[in-house]
Amino acid sequence: MPKPIPDYSLYVITGESFSKGRSTEDVIRQAILGGATVIQLREKEYCGKELIRVGKLLRDMTREMGVTFIVNDRVDVAFAVDADGVHLGQDDLPIEVARQILGPDKIVGISAGNMDEVLAAQARGADYVGLGPVFATGTKSDAGEAVGLDLVKQVCARATIPVVGIGGIKANNAAQVIEAGAAGVSVITAVVSADDVTEAARQLRHQIDLAKGLKG
């Protein structure tokens, strides 16, 4: 039986430094209440112990609330907290190592910035790709130039695995990314920096659902 494909519609990545002093736990709970479907723990400054602590909190919360939970970069942490999968950048561990440690049933996502990286990730067995930055973004200084909606369209036309758009996506442009063929949009600041996190997630989710034709 093939493993089920998660609902990638609204993929929220943690960012403690963008969360205005609120705890990651509180912010993520509000995001899920607003309609986030995937949560990724991504805190580059955390030591292993802190990743495990927050990872276990988010694992319990996401399981209880019925959303998917992914850990960034650290395959060992994903294993330790029994996350649903891991997300790897082009500079992280190879996908094969993630598969060996996590087993075939876990999700492995890969960041891609162009068609070649998407097709390579797919060929090596990635479950989804995070494609971007779709629009210009200030959150990731090393994210490179915006790839634009045209590349999203081209990639989504060729890729056989789900494509999640990332980078500079907000409520006012999320629909374009979905209309270009993406399975979902990934955000950090558009949700975690919002004064009302639940409402920000709800607005994004509303635009995504509209674009998918799930709302009339």
Active-site residue flag, 111: yes
Binding of a second copy by 80 (CB under 8 A): yes
Considering only 3, 20, 64, 90, the residue that binds a second copy (CB under 8 A) is 90
Q: How far is the CB of 35 from a second copy (least distance, A)?
A: 32
Would you count residue 91 as binding a second copy (CB under 8 A)?
Answer: yes
Please count the residues of the chain: 216
> What is the spatial distance between Cα 110 and Cα 119, in angstroms, rounded to a whole number?
11
Does 137 appear as a known binding residue?
yes
Q: Residue 14, by phi and psi: left (phi above 0), alpha (psi -120 to 50) or beta?
A: beta
Q: Tell me, what amino acid is at 125? A: G
Asked if 144 touches a second copy (CB under 8 A), the answer is no
How much of the chain is helix, strand and coil, in % rounded to 5? 40, 15, 40
Nearer to a second copy, 50 or 64 (CB): 50
Which pair of structure tokens corresponds to residue 45? Answer: 């400054």
Residues that bind a second copy (CB under 8 A): 47-50, 52, 73-77, 79-80, 88-94, 97-98, 100-101
Known binding site for Mg(2+): residues? 73, 92
